Each structure stands twice: as structure tokens, then as C-alpha cells.
């Protein structure tokens, strides 16, 4: 079955690879990028099956206009993939105010507004699927990625709530949670300046691992995008897709730790209700 997909952040990484694979199998793709020329090779190869729009994901008005134009020109869009985003590394107090605002505007607010803009169109056509690219970092945390995790934990909470709101309309939402994967995520990673205060801390250890190339990256991006494509065949939509041995282990450990802490404080929690 051929489908029409709307994907943000298609110039590289998962977005680019997903666009390539979908076009190769005969689907239509509405692809958004900051610089449309980055998709010129795919446009020349696939013609009208690739619809391209320039989009700055931090511009809410532009998001609404682009979504509206895509549905207006292409008709039904079966799958929305909210993929645009990037990483920010540095101890929380090392980060600049502008870096924090830019990251939240892109990863969190941009993703929220994209989903909000798509929902009226999906309701009107009585169904569809939304894939929100999150991360293992939506359920666990590394030192030095505090603001990145804030955006991913934030979008996961948003999607968990919206999923329940729109299920009656035949709209399914899935959180995609890859672990470290061999994309260009590292190349686009924004870093703060370092300070002597954090020299002998886990933040510095991780910074050194990045610079020395010793941070272990096992994830296969091709397998990830194929699993994303296959997921839209599943009904109901899976709530989460965890990809990679590292992601599985880290999320499993984080969930076990939180559950153990909850159980250890069960008596305190239950004692806080009003006495009969």
C-alpha cells in the first residue's frame, strides 16, 4: 500500500534516510528543510512524488501554513513524522541563555506546534498516524545533556496526553526512541564552553569520550527507519518504539530504578491522603 508522508528535518540523518527509503518503495513524501537545494538530487530522481517546502520549525505561523499547503496540494497525508531537532551538550550552568531558548523552541515547542497544526487535518480525513522522534533520552538521562533531556521528556509527556485525546478520531501517535545511532547527530551537536569547575566530573568524562571518539555508537540508522516504516502497519499504533541495545539497557535500568524508588517510599506516599 502506497502512502503519503510529511517529514520534517529531511536534509540529513533519519529524516533524509527515511525520505530516500520511502521514495524508493513508491510512496509520496512531503519533505521540509531549511534549504530545499539539499534535496535537489532526490527531486530530480523522483519528480512529483517528492514535495519540498522550506520550513523553520521555530516559526509557528510557518508550520501552520506549510501543513495547510501540503494537505491542500497533496490531499490525504497518512503519516506525519516530527523529526527536526538537534542536541545541546554542556553542564547546566555552562549553557548560555540563547542556547537554551533555541533548543526548547526547536525540539519541544516546534514539535508541539507541528502536531497541533496537523491534528485538524487528520481529524477531517478521519485518521492518520504521527511518529514523534524522541530518544532514549526521553526516559533516562546522561550528564551534560540536561536541556536536551528536558525537551525529550517534555515532548514525551505531551504525546502521551495527546494520544489519549485523539484516539477516538482514529489518529495514532508513536514515540520513536533511538539510542546512539550512526547518523550525523554528533556533527550537529551544539556544545557550551567548558569551565574548570567541571573538569573532574562526569560531564568532562563524556566530553572527552566525544572528542576522542570512544563513545560507543552501535545503532544502525537503516534498520531504525525501516522499523519506523513498518510500524505504521501495526494497529493500534505502538506507543513507543525503542531502538538499539544501548537504548533498551539504559531505559530498562532507568525504569527499574524509578520503580524501586517508588516502592521504597510507598508507605510515605499512601500516608499523604486525608485521614478517614
3-state helix, strand, coil in the chain (%, to 5): 55, 15, 30
Euclidean distance between CA atoms 264 and 266, whole angstroms = 6
Distance (Å, whole) CA 171 – CA 149: 26
Rounded to the nearest 5 degrees, what angle is found at the Cα of 150, between the Cα atoms of 232 and 216?
70
Q: Are 190 and 89 in contact (CB under 8 A)?
A: yes
Helices (H), strands (E): how many in the chain?
10, 9
Residues in Cβ contact with 119 at an 8 Å cutoff, skipping those fewer than 6 apart: 162, 166, 171
User: Which triple of cell numbers denotes residue 262?
Assistant: 517508588
Q: Can 142 be counted among the known catalytic residues? A: no
Q: CA 230, CA 176: separation in Å to the nearest integer? A: 13
Kind and range of the H or E run holding 220: none
Report d(CA 110, CA 106) in Å as an integer: 5
User: Which residues in 141-153 are b (16+ Cβ under 10 Å) and which e?
Assistant: bbbbbbbbbbbbb
Q: Which of 86, 142, 148, 198 is catalytic?
A: 148
Please state, in angstroms and as integers, the Cα–Cα distance from residue 38 to each residue in 25, 183, 200, following that order: 21, 16, 41
Active site residues: 148
Amino acid at each position: 500500500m502506497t502512502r503519503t508522508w510529511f517529514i520534517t528535518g529531511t536534509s540529513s540523518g533519519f529524516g533524509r534516510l527515511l525520505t530516500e527509503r520511502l521514495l524508493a518503495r513508491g510512496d509520496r513524501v512531503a519533505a521540509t528543510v531549511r534549504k530545499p537545494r539539499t534535496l535537489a538530487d532526490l527531486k530530480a530522481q523522483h519528480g512529483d512524488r517528492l514535495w519540498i517546502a522550506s520550513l523553520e520549525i521555530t516559526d509557528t505561523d510557518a508550520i501552520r501554513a506549510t501543513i495547510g499547503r501540503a494537505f491542500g496540494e497533496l490531499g490525504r497525508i497518512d503519516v506525519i513524522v516530527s523529526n527536526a531537532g538537534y542536541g545541546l551538550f554542556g553542564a547546566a550552568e555552562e549553557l548560555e541563555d540563547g542556547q537554551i531558548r533555541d533548543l526548547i523552541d526547536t525540539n519541544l515547542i516546534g514539535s508541539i506546534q507541528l502536531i497541533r497544526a496537523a491534528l485538524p487535518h487528520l481529524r477531517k480525513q478521519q485518521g492518520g498516524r504521527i511518529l514523534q522522534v524522541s530518544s532514549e533520552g526521553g526516559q533516562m538521562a546522561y550528564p551534560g545533556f540536561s536541556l536536551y533531556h528536558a525537551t525529550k521528556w517534555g515532548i514525551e509527556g505531551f504525546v502521551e496526553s495527546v494520544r489519549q485525546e485523539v484516539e477516538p478520531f482514529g489518529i495514532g501517535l508513536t514515540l520513536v526512541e533511538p539510542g546512539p545511532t550512526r547518523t550525523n547527530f554528533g556533527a550537529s551537536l551544539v556544545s557550551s564552553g567548558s569551565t574548570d569547575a567541571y573538569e573532574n566530573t562526569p560531564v568532562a568524562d563524556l566530553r572527552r569520550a566525544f572528542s576522542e571518539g570512544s563513545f560507543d555508537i552501535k545503532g544502525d540508522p537503516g534498520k531504525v527507519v525501516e522499523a519506523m516504516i513498518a510500524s505504521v502497519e501495526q494497529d493500534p499504533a505502538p506507543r513507543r518504539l525503542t531502538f538499539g541495545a544501548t537504548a533498551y539497557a539504559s531505559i530498562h535500568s532507568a525504569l527499574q530504578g524509578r520503580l524501586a524508588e517508588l516502592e521504597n517510599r510507598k508507605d510515605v506516599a499512601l500516608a499523604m491522603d486525608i485521614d478517614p
